[in-house]
Amino acid sequence: MAEIGHNVSLSERARRIRRNALRMGEVQGQGYIAQALGVADVLAVSYFHATSYRPEDPEWEGRDRFLLSIGHYAIALYAALIEAKIIPEDELETYGTDESRLPMSGMAAYTPGMEITGGSLGHGLGIAVGICLALKRKGSKSFVYNLFSDGELDEGSTWEAAMSAGSYKLDNLIGIVDVNQMQADGPSLGVMNFEPLAPKFESFGWFVQRVDGNDIDALVKAFDAARHQDAPKPRLIICDTKMAKGVPFLEARERNHFLRVEPHEWAEALKIIDAGAVA
């Protein structure tokens, strides 16, 4: 566990998550790389600061549940699960290949540490509500994280779930929404204006924080506040992230929902990421 101001190790975790994601992206030559690079800091803080789990026993009853609602972010979660030693690193090269345990869209039945089958967007938050209710029935103190996207704010089911979480005062639920401002058809706010986002969730009975999702210190503070909040409310961390964060020539691409990267560019991207490595 890192302390505020001493998060070098979390930065290094995030760097390795980016590296794992790039190596998987290279297997396909294209994919949801920009999302993975953008959300890497959020995953680093989630898996190496805020979440309890046992790498050798991904279904340990006492674990915090981490749900990936955004199925196509699987590449990002695999990168974190590899860093967390839940998935062996050598499986990385099988990403999205026939018979791999790492399909391009997340599937609970295939992958250790993948709690739900995502991909039909707008499912995660509602499933999280059910898990939260079940954990309370069992007297469990575990938290349920649901990582979802700004695009999923378009789905009505997200709001059904948000309202019920407030109604049931699910203080064991921590929603993490990745606001990277990019959807399949273009910038998120142009697809559907979901702002002002924080007041929407607050009015639904949530404790809401909004942070720079690429600022590890800010993320650590927000996750700590979410976990230690006394109010009987579900918690939301809105993370404003930058698509393709950490690889400037990919950050600069305008349409980067599904990135096509030239063969020679992968090595270049890895070189940039590796330059940030801690000796």
Partner 1 sequence: MRRSKYIRPEHLLNNGDRPRLTTSAMIASIAGPDQPTKPAPFGHTLAAIADRDPRIVGLSADLAKYTDLHIFRAAHPDRFYQMGMAEQLLMMAAAGMAREGFQPWVTTYAVFASRRAYDFICLAIAEEMLDVKIVCALPGLTTGYGPSHQASEDIAMFRGMPNLTIIDPCDAHEIEQAVPAIAAHKGPVYMRLLRGNVPLVLDEYGYQFELGNAKLIRDGRDTLIISSGLMTMRALEAAKQLQRNGVDAAVLHVPTIKPLDEATILAECRRAGRLVVVAENHTLIGGLGEAIAATLMRSDVRPAAFRQIALPDQFLEAGALPTLHDQYGLSTGKVVSAIKGWLDE
Give residues in contact with partner 1 (CB under 8 A): 108-109, 115-117, 119-120, 122-123, 125-135, 137-138, 156-157, 160-161, 163-164, 167
> 165 near 233, Cβ under 8 Å?
no
Shortest Cβ distance from residue 11 to partner 1 (Å)?
33
Please identify, using beta-carbon distances, which residue of 149 and 164 lies nearer to partner 1: 164
Report the candidate in 1, 166, 151, 19 with the shortest Cα–Cα distance to residue 83.
Answer: 19
Shortest Cβ distance from residue 20 to partner 1 (Å)?
26
Shortest Cβ distance from residue 127 to partner 1 (Å)?
4
Please identify, using beta-carbon distances, which residue of 36 and 125 lies nearer to partner 1: 125
Please identify, using beta-carbon distances, which residue of 38 and 126 lies nearer to partner 1: 126
Residue 96 CA from chain centroid, whole number: 19
Q: Where are the alpha helices (DSSP H) in the chain?
A: 8-28, 33-45, 74-83, 124-138, 156-167, 188-191, 197-203, 216-228, 248-251, 263-275
Count, residues in the chain: 279
Please identify, using beta-carbon distances, which residue of 5 and 139 lies nearer to partner 1: 139
Shortest Cβ distance from residue 164 to partner 1 (Å)?
6
CB atoms within 10 A of CB 100: 17
Shortest Cβ distance from residue 113 to partner 1 (Å)?
14
> 50 near 80, Cβ under 8 Å?
no
Helix (H, G, I), strand (E, B) or coil at 116: coil
Please identify, using beta-carbon distances, which residue of 128 and 226 lies nearer to partner 1: 128
Shortest Cβ distance from residue 77 to partner 1 (Å)?
17
Residue type, 161: A
Shortest Cβ distance from residue 162 to partner 1 (Å)?
10
The residues that bridge with 211 in the sheet, in sequence order, are 239
Please identify, using beta-carbon distances, which residue of 48 and 145 lies nearer to partner 1: 145
Please identify, using beta-carbon distances, which residue of 129 and 236 lies nearer to partner 1: 129
> 236 near 178, Cβ under 8 Å?
no
Cα gap 21→4, rounded to integer Å = 26
List, edge to edge, every strand of the sheet that includes 173-179. Answer: 65-68, 144-149, 173-179, 235-240, 207-212
